[in-house]
Amino acid sequence: MLGSSSLQFSVTHRDGRARCGILRVPHGDVETPAFLPVGTQGSVKAMTPRDLVETGTAMILANTYHLALRPGADIVRDAGGLHAFMGWGKPILTDSGGFQVFSLATLGKVDEEGVTFRSHIDGDLILLTPERSVAVQNDLGADIIMAFDECPPATSQRSVLERAVERTARWAERSAAAHSREDQALFGIVQGGTHEDLRRRSTEQITALEFPGYAIGGVAVGESPEEMRRVVALVAPLLPEDRPRYVMGVGNPEDIADMVSCGADLFDCVIPTRHARNASLFTRRGLLKMRNLSLARDFSPVEDDCPCHACRHFSRAYLRHLYSRGEMLAGILGTIHNLAFYQRLMAAARQAIRDGRYGKFREEWGGYPREAAQEEGPAPEDPLGAEA
């Protein structure tokens, strides 16, 4: 398949089904399992690229849907591609826009050709097809791009999910046929909701197309965390051993620790960045609510042993003050910390796999406190809430 040679993936260590390895793409190497922060509109919110590198981030995700609407793929292409446009020289993955079309836009007609929807920005009527999604992603120029899929809510009727599986397979083929850049690797996406037979069928159909990597889509779309993990535990081992496996839109630290144990390699999620803007900071003991009065005189860092810029230079009391006053610096420092927390989690997971103690690591992260990653109260720095 076109672009297959632009990606090299080698598993270096295994511990049960968990594995760690190196993903090599044109803009650099990524140690796996890896977490990709979300840069919805060509910016990981509140982060300069150099801040992002400092958190340990090796690869990010950007959203095709958002970038296609604004500023438009042609502008990004003329800027020299997304890497040049956003000043991020390391690897990028773009999604296909499928998820956003079904979740953010006012949905029009969905038929075999593609999806007609109204832009959430200006109400323009737009047709997105597999060909169009891939053309836009070719313009954006990410290292890894995704096939266009139909992504219904997990709570949809079986008939809807079944239709989505079949259509996703046909669209995957059309996506592959439309792909025109040798330097981008196109991944296929497995759908099927929480139905075991549909997931198996989708996995067979998509893997038959011989993509250089595979994603488990249709997760974190309304099902319970237990169902979500069950789906990943089912699908991941069915995917080819020698290709990277990407779980889309996940998740909480416990979810990630669990899915790594199933053999998943890549994750993206808005949780660390969105939580940071909502004053929820990650610590090993759970989420710290930064507007809490109890922190007003707490002059210790968010986490004592955290090497991030926020923890090395600022106290909980200062961060609480910044959050309480709606200062932008709160979102900046909070995002630095939360992403550093996630990247340290991934580094620790990799080390645990190398050391052959992943089972214990998985247990340690079990029951990590969960909180919906949604806007809560004023988030002045994020008026659009348009991440993901």
Specify the pairing of strand 185-190 against strand 214-216: parallel
Considering beta carbons, is residue 166 or 376 the nearer one to its own copies? 376
**CB 347 to its own copies: min, Å:** 23
Torsion-angle region of residue 51: left (phi > 0), alpha (psi -120 to 50) or beta?
A: alpha
How deeply is 77 buried, as exposed, middle or buried, from its count of CB atoms within 10 A (0-12, 13-18, 19+)?
Answer: middle
Considering beta carbons, is residue 92 or 353 the nearer one to its own copies? 92
Specify the pairing of strand 60-62 against strand 92-94: parallel
Considering beta carbons, is residue 90 or 321 the nearer one to its own copies? 321
Inter-CA distances, 228 with 247, 249, 256, 313, Å:
10, 11, 11, 38
- Amino acid (1-letter code) at residue 207: T
**CB 81 to its own copies: min, Å:** 12
Q: Which residues contact 209 (CB under 8 A, 6 or more apart)?
A: 1, 169, 172, 173, 176, 188
**CB 320 to its own copies: min, Å:** 8
Considering beta carbons, is residue 33 or 334 the nearer one to its own copies? 334
C-alpha of 68 from chain center: 18
What are residue 15's DSSP bridge partners?
18
Distance CA 311, CA 299 (A): 11
Q: Which of 143, 149, 258, 268 is catalytic?
A: 268
Q: Write out the two tokens for 93.
A: 């993955």
Considering beta carbons, is residue 111 or 122 the nearer one to its own copies? 122
Distance CA 17, CA 382 (A): 39
**Closest by alpha carbon to 322, among 296, 286, 288, 294?**
296
**CB 63 to its own copies: min, Å:** 12
DSSP letters, 334-357, are HHHHHHHHHHHHHHHHHHHHHTT-
Q: Which residues are near its own copies by CB under 8 A?
A: 41-43, 45-50, 70-71, 75, 78-80, 85-87, 296-297, 299, 309, 313-315, 317-318, 320-322, 324-329, 331-333, 378, 380-384, 386
197 given a catalytic annotation: no
Helix (H, G, I), strand (E, B) or coil at 182: coil
268 given a catalytic annotation: yes
**CB 244 to its own copies: min, Å:** 29
**CB 325 to its own copies: min, Å:** 5
**CB 119 to its own copies: min, Å:** 13
Q: Which of 15, 95, 139, 149 is catalytic?
A: 95
| CB-CB contact of 57 with 340 (8 Å) | no
Considering beta carbons, is residue 198 or 339 the nearer one to its own copies? 339
Terminal C-alpha separation, the chain? 28
What are residue 167's DSSP bridge partners?
none
Considering beta carbons, is residue 161 or 333 the nearer one to its own copies? 333
Residues serving a catalytic function are 95, 268
